[in-house]
A = this chain, B = another copy of it.
C-alpha cells in the first residue's frame, strides 16, 4: 500500500521511459535485476500500477473537442443511466459525485457541432433529468501522476532520500 523510495524511482523512471526493460532499469537504479523485478511484481499485485496501456490521444484520433457534462438523474435510475452511458464511445469517463449534479461525464467529439450529437445521444435516455455541459479549452496540466508518486515516496518512512 505504501511505497518506498525505490518504488517511487521505479515508477518515475517507467513513466519517463516506458519502453525501458527490467535489466536497463536495474542498471539505471543501481540495484540488482531481481530486485526491480520483485518490486514491479509487488507494485502490480498491490494495484499501485494498474497497467501499461497505451495512452491514446483522442485529438489525434479525430476527436479534438473535450467537454464535461453534469447530469441529474431521476431517483433510482442510476444503474440504467450508467449502462446507457457505457455504450457511448465518446463517453471517456463517468463519475458519480456529491453536489447538485449526480454524475460527471467526460466527453469527446469531432467538433463543436458534433458535440451536440454526442450530447443528444448521452441525454437521450429516460433517466436523465437535466444536463449541463462545459467545454474544455486548454489543458495546462495534462493528467499526471509523477509529482504525487514522488510525494508518496518522500513521505515513506525509513527510506533514505535517493543517495545516488
Contacts and interface: CB of A to CB of B under 8 A. Distances in A.
Classify the interface of chain A: helix, strand, loop or mixed.
mixed
Nearest to A98: B135
Contact of A97 (B98, B99, B101, B134): B134
A136 interface: yes
A19 B52 contact: yes
A61 B148 contact: yes
Which bucket holds chain A's interface residue count? Answer: 35 or more
Interface of A: 1-3, 11, 14-15, 18-19, 46-63, 66, 68, 82, 85-86, 88-99, 101, 104, 106, 108, 134-145, 147-152
Given A18-B51, A61-B148, A95-B139, 19 more contacts: A46-B60, A47-B59, A48-B57, A50-B54, A52-B52, A53-B55, A63-B148, A93-B143, A94-B140, A94-B141, A95-B136, A96-B136, A96-B138, A97-B134, A97-B135, A97-B136, A97-B137, A106-B143, A108-B148
